Amino acid sequence: MLAHIQGVISAEEVASIRAILEGTNWIDGRVSAGPQGATVKNNLQVPEDSPQGRELSQRVVAALMRSPVFVAAAFPARIAPPMFNRYDVGMTYGTHVDGAIRTYRPAGADMSSVHYRTDLSATLFLTDPDDYEGGELVIEDTFGAHAVKLPAGDLILYPSTSRHRVEPVTRGSRWASFMWMQSMIRDDAQRTTLFEMDLAIQALANQVTQKDPSVVSLTGIYANLVRMWSEV
């Protein structure tokens, strides 16, 4: 499932995050790529352990958890600290698949590393489409290739099993936050079913009431499916 989630952060929040990133050190993006990805990756990113990166990561996670659409689509069990990347003119990231297991170290010297399964990948756009050319995120699934270029503040959520790439930037600079997460619903088809069912229940409730017997019945079925499929 590809889910376009609008307005995860506001225009004011985008401007605030970008202002901090303007004064941040950027390093070679290959530091976070696996062996295959490193051969096709050419971009810049903020060091994971930098004070600015940690502060902004916390702000992005807080924004994600404020979004009911994101929570309904992702069922997040564990969100690794979001990172920040940048593609200037000529930069690109060739076709690759994200690693199945990743590791991060939480803030605090006494904290041990955390391992998590990458069920979902996400890109939160921090640059408006008119400010750069190229730079589309192209995600491949059974229905073909989907080119994604969203307004600043919007997020695309997609299965980490997907082959994907970032097209070369030919004008301007493309800035984004990218992240991986482990879901309480491991199977993508099951997550998709629950997300679509949730949206349908909400639409029905808006036409009748939350107390309508049909809404109550469907809500119960939804909850039972979550119990059946979740890993918590």
Do the domains 188-229 and 3-183 match in fold? no
Both tokens of 122, joined, read 């996400």
Enumerate residue ranges in the chain where pLDDT < 70: 107-111
pLDDT reported for residue 107: 67
Rounded Cα–Cα distance for residues 161 and 100 (Å): 8
Question: What's the pTM?
Answer: 0.94
pLDDT reported for residue 101: 94
Parallel, antiparallel, or unpaired: how do β-strands 155-159 and 27-28 relate? Answer: unpaired
- As assigned by CATH, the class of the 3-183 domain is mainly beta
pLDDT reported for residue 111: 66
Tell me the per-residue pLDDT of 161-188, one tens digit each, with 9 for 90 and over: 999 999 999 999 999 999 999 999 999 9
pLDDT reported for residue 33: 83
pLDDT reported for residue 38: 86
Q: What is the CATH number of domain 188-229?
A: 4.10.860
| Residues making up the chain, counted from first to last | 232
pLDDT reported for residue 165: 98
pLDDT reported for residue 91: 98
CA-angle at 29, arms to 171 and 100, nearest 5°: 120
Tell me the per-residue pLDDT of 61-98, one tens digit each, with 9 for 90 and over: 999 999 999 999 999 999 999 999 999 999 999 999 99
Q: What residues does each domain of the chain span?
A: 3-183, 188-229
Rounded Cα–Cα distance for residues 147 and 4 (Å): 12
